[in-house]
A and B are shown apart, each in its own frame.
Chain A
Amino acid sequence: MRELRQRFLLRLTTFITLTACFTLLTAGSLGLLNLVNVLSYWGEEIQITAYLSAEMAPTQIDALKERIKSDSRVDKVELISQEEALEDFRGQMASYAPDLAKDQELLSLIPSSLQISLAGRLGEPATSEQIEDVAKELRGYEGIEEVRYGQEWVQKYGAFLTLIRRGLFVLGVIVALAALLVVGNAVRASVESRRSEVEVLELVGATSWMIRRPFLVEGASLGFLSICSALIVSSVGFLFMKNLFKTELQFFQLSSHLEFLGPLQIAIFLVFGIGMGALASYLCVRRVNSGFAASGGQG
């Protein structure tokens, strides 16, 4: 009875530890997924503005426009003429500073510009670097005075995403190792407590597969249960967060952009959990029986 209790306790602690490990991973992936979602939603607004020098003739502007458009990374190029820019500026300023809006001299300083939308969206892996590349090239073009695209914002979020992705990968590796250790430990204890049983099974002619199977099943089911409960824990956390964005953080208007892991990702996690459990057991029981019972006999 004590033995059974100990075995149960060991399995329980293994299950809890493994669930904690796996939850880190599922919650991390979920966070990343939604971060990318939110950023690409915000990222739609991101465009490059190229301010044109005042000396540009309309034909030159058209040529420049065509040249930029021919870049495969560029989706749309739109000319905001000086008049349109003025119009916009007036509209924006009229209510704040009516006097300023009438100052013709100041208004004439507003240049015409090209609004360039890129094909990708921010939040997708390559995009932030792409924006920078395109901006750099634009700076080199004749007739372009200045290029603006919210540099810092784009750079920071790009770097941030890369960091999170790398962190998640490292976390994945650590979790995999931890899972191997934790499950391996439980299975080894289980093998140890059943050593005499293994010996007898060998002696009546059980194949190594028959002997190992229960241990593999034990490891795989530990992995399966743990990854399931990790998914449940993260979905509960997810629903909580989503609800928070619906009520208290409604301001951000993000709740409709939050989504849970898709079926494919869930399947991958299930396979990962089961696989880690089974692999750990396999590594432990690979040498549990060698065909000849290893232990010594009696007098």
Chain B
Amino acid sequence: MIEFSHVYKTYPGPVHALKNIDLRIDKGEFVFLTGPSGAGKTTLFRMISAFDHVTSGQLVVANQELTQISSADVPAFRRRIGVVFQDFKLLKNLTVFQNVALPLKVLGEKEQNIRRRVPDFLEKVGLSHKSDQYPESLSGGEQQRTAIARALIHQPGVLIADEPTGNLDPRLSEEIMDLLEKVCAQGTTVFVATHDHEMVKRRNKRTVSIRAGELEGGR
């Protein structure tokens, strides 16, 4: 579950990146976030992933109050969510396999479990054959799929994905979306930012749009 109430985010400048955000996404819901470039989509996701503090208002994600979360509580919170970053944030000195295994390592998962689960997931995103490659030798789409696998491997309660299909061809985009829907069907809350209006229409899911830091169209 994700719940924003009266959330503002102001960057020094001042840049009012988020203005009076009220938004509630229930557990197991699948929601698209659309909006023009610079509207505040990434900012919204940064708040949800405790990447940054909100300036004012209230934010609760996966039962964790984030407005006043202490630094000591952040790691435990992050292990319960999955994030696909717009710029992937893969470690270039680790292989695809090791990158995807990272959340499991952090959770202290047994090595044999890691060796079983990671290949499963790499297969789901169609990267089995790249398992031992380093991110630098991957195409943009392959890096993106590695990032998606990493965000899902530990079965998070909340998944946020910042343009997870931005670098994928239409067929791959559909496959990834199918995967996200499947994950959602298993109980994960999924929140996806995208510019792909065609896909949003086809998927027929709840959609919120943001413009200049403000949510549009009610809900």
Nearest residue in B to A194 (C-beta to C-beta)? B93
Question: Bound complex: CA of A197 vs CA of B91, how far in Å?
Answer: 6
**Chain B residues with a Cβ under 8 A of chain A:** 37-38, 42, 46, 49-53, 70-72, 74-80, 83, 85-87, 89-91, 93, 102-103, 106-107, 150
Contacts of A201-230 to chain B: CB distance below 8 A: 201-208, 210
Nearest residue in B to A209 (C-beta to C-beta)? B75
Interface residue SS majority, chain A: mixed
Interface size on A, residues (CB 8 A): 20
Contacts across chains A and B counted by CB atoms under 8 Å = 66
Of B86, B90, B150, the residue contacting A298 (CB under 8 A) is: B86
A297: CB under 8 A from chain B?
yes
Q: Contact between A205 and B79 (Cβ–Cβ < 8 Å)?
A: yes
Contacts of B102 in A (CB 8 A): 200-201, 204
With A204-B150, A205-B77 as given contacts, are A298 and B42 in contact (CB-CB < 8 Å)? Answer: yes
A197-B93, A207-B75 given. 14 additional CB < 8 A pairs? A196-B91, A202-B74, A205-B74, A205-B78, A206-B106, A208-B75, A291-B71, A292-B50, A292-B52, A297-B42, A297-B46, A298-B86, A298-B87, A299-B86
A293: CB under 8 A from chain B?
yes
A290: CB under 8 A from chain B?
yes
Nearest CB of A to B194, in Å: 15
Nearest residue in B to A206 (C-beta to C-beta)? B106
With A204-B150, A205-B103, A298-B86 as given contacts, are A292 and B91 in contact (CB-CB < 8 Å)? Answer: no
Q: Contact between A205 and B75 (Cβ–Cβ < 8 Å)?
A: yes
Of B38, B42, B51, B86, the residue contacting A292 (CB under 8 A) is: B51
Question: Bound complex: CA of A111 vs CA of B29, how far in Å?
Answer: 112
Nearest CB of A to B30, in Å: 23
Q: Contact between B106 and A201 (Cβ–Cβ < 8 Å)?
A: yes
Question: Bound complex: CA of A290 vs CA of B19, how far in Å?
Answer: 26
With A203-B49, A298-B42 as given contacts, are A290 and B71 in contact (CB-CB < 8 Å)? Answer: yes
With A210-B106, A292-B50 as given contacts, are A204 and B86 in contact (CB-CB < 8 Å)? Answer: no
27 contacts between A and B (CB under 8 A): A196-B89, A200-B89, A201-B106, A202-B74, A202-B75, A203-B49, A203-B51, A203-B78, A203-B83, A203-B85, A203-B89, A204-B78, A204-B103, A204-B106, A205-B74, A205-B79, A205-B103, A206-B106, A207-B75, A208-B75, A210-B106, A291-B75, A292-B52, A292-B53, A293-B51, A298-B87, A299-B86
Contacts of B86 in A (CB 8 A): 298-299
Question: Bound complex: CA of A208 vs CA of B102, how far in Å?
Answer: 15
